[in-house]
Amino acid sequence: MTALVPLVAAELETPAAPEVTDFAKAIAGRCGGAAQAVLFYGSCLRSEDLGDSLLDFYLLVDSYDRAYTRRWMATANRLIPPNVFYAEHEGLRAKFAVMTVEDFAHACSPDCDNVSVWARFAQPSRLVWVRGDAARARVIRAVATAAPTLLKTARPMLDDDLSVEALWTGAFALTYASELRSERAGRGQSIFETDPARYTAFTAPAIADSDLAAEVRGGIVHFRADADRRAGERVWAKLRRRGKWLSVLRLAKASFTFKGGVDYIAWKVNRHAGAGIVVKPWHRRFPILAGLMLLPKLIRKGAVR
């Protein structure tokens, strides 16, 4: 039991909307006995109009080989996790990522060499379906490592004394710069502002679990040990390089697994960055080529960073 586990457990077990829980059950059913848990996360947690959104789920399984009937999908998931799929259920739409519980736990930990999972699960999420108590305990422990990983990795790039708000917004800003993201600048700030009380409550336990030498007094975090900023810059340069290449590889892979993937990517970039992408018929026929041709244009316009 770590300092953060009880807070994470309570947050994960907060009930989600019934339609979200029903959707999660349907997603779990796609992998039969391999399914272990379904996590609901992302901006839809804060949305009241789910019908106009694309919900985000993580489906955790015990084995890629047991989760798929086609071997190439298991191999792709193992080599470049996660696989991402599109789903519809009772008028709602979603994308769901598939990982084994073991890979997910690794991806939440400081041993992981990309930010994708621990950056997302340092934010609120819900455990909306789980196979049993053993799976529940494993998922809670995994998610409870995400926020400490975020803060520990971000620490060398942050001031020695800073507000709780600056701690989290600075850390999230680093992660957003380490993937190809279509969100506007300041996204880390908006994440914190959705629930300042939550991040305030998580601060001291997450720092304690990260083994950082710090104390929190009056809303100010005081780090007691000097940070090696030069080493931190090397770490984050590596995370940025790897994160952006992985983003490209995952998008390419999603063109084979994600129904309507090109339309979804265009919708998301237009929604967040106002890029004005128009999907043409040939884009849908040759999604990888379309992505390679569109990416430089999006980067130049600042729609993708």
Q: Kindly report the CATH number assigned to the domain that includes residue 57.
A: 3.30.460.10
Q: Both 137 and 162 in a single domain?
A: no
Q: Both 125 and 186 in a single domain?
A: no
Q: Both 124 and 177 in a single domain?
A: no
With contact defined as beta carbons under 8 Å apart, do 149 and 109 qualify?
A: yes
Two structure tokens written together for 114 = 């990309």
Q: What is the mean pLDDT of residues 219-233?
A: 94
DSSP 67: H
Q: Both 181 and 124 in a single domain?
A: no
Mean pLDDT of the chain: 87
Residue 246 domain flag: no
Classify 184 as helix, strand or coil. coil
Q: Looking at the predicted structure, is the pLDDT value of residue 169 above 80? A: yes
Q: Looking at the predicted structure, is the pLDDT value of residue 255 above 80? A: no
pLDDT, tens digit, 9 for 90 and up, residues 63-113? 999 999 999 999 999 999 999 998 999 999 999 999 999 999 999 999 999
Give the domain range for residue 50: 5-145
pLDDT, tens digit, 9 for 90 and up, residues 231-252? 999 999 999 999 888 887 887 7
Question: What is the per-residue DSSP string for 228-247?
Answer: -HHHHHHHHHHHHHHHHHHH
Q: Looking at the predicted structure, is the pLDDT value of residue 206 above 60? A: yes
Q: Both 128 and 165 in a single domain?
A: no
pTM: 0.86
Higher pLDDT, 203 or 293: 203
Distance CA 290, CA 292 (A): 5
pLDDT band at residue 188, thresholds of 50, 70 and 90? Answer: confident
Distance CA 304, CA 180 (A): 6
Q: Both 155 and 207 in a single domain?
A: yes
Residue 244 domain flag: no
pLDDT band at residue 18, thresholds of 50, 70 and 90? Answer: very high
**Pairing state of beta strands 35-41 and 125-130?**
antiparallel
Residue 252 domain flag: no
Identity of the amino acid at 197? A
With contact defined as beta carbons under 8 Å apart, do 61 and 100 qualify?
A: yes
DSSP 227: -
Q: Both 170 and 281 in a single domain?
A: no
146-150, 174-178, 200-204: which has the minimum mean pLDDT? Answer: 174-178
Backbone phi, then psi, for 130, in 5-degree steps?
-150, 145
pLDDT band at residue 275, thresholds of 50, 70 and 90? Answer: low
Q: Both 210 and 283 in a single domain?
A: no
Q: Both 18 and 97 in a single domain?
A: yes
What Å distances lie between residue 100 and 2, 15, 34, CA to CA? 23, 24, 9
pLDDT, tens digit, 9 for 90 and up, residues 105-130? 999 999 999 999 999 999 999 999 99
Percent above pLDDT 70 for the chain: 82
Residue 255 domain flag: no
Residues 298, 295, 181, 87, CA torsion sign: positive
Q: Of 145, 175, 198, which one is at a domain's C-terminal end?
A: 145
Backbone phi, then psi, for 97, in 5-degree steps?
-100, 145
Residue 243 domain flag: no
The pLDDT of residue 43:
86
Q: Of 110, 145, 180, which one is at a domain's C-terminal end?
A: 145
Cross-strand bridge partners of residue 143: none
Q: Both 226 and 273 in a single domain?
A: no
Split into its structural domains, the chain has a count of: 3
Two structure tokens written together for 237 = 């340069």
For residue 220, give the CATH number of its domain: 1.10.10
The pLDDT of residue 184:
56
Q: Looking at the predicted structure, is the pLDDT value of residue 183 above 60? A: no
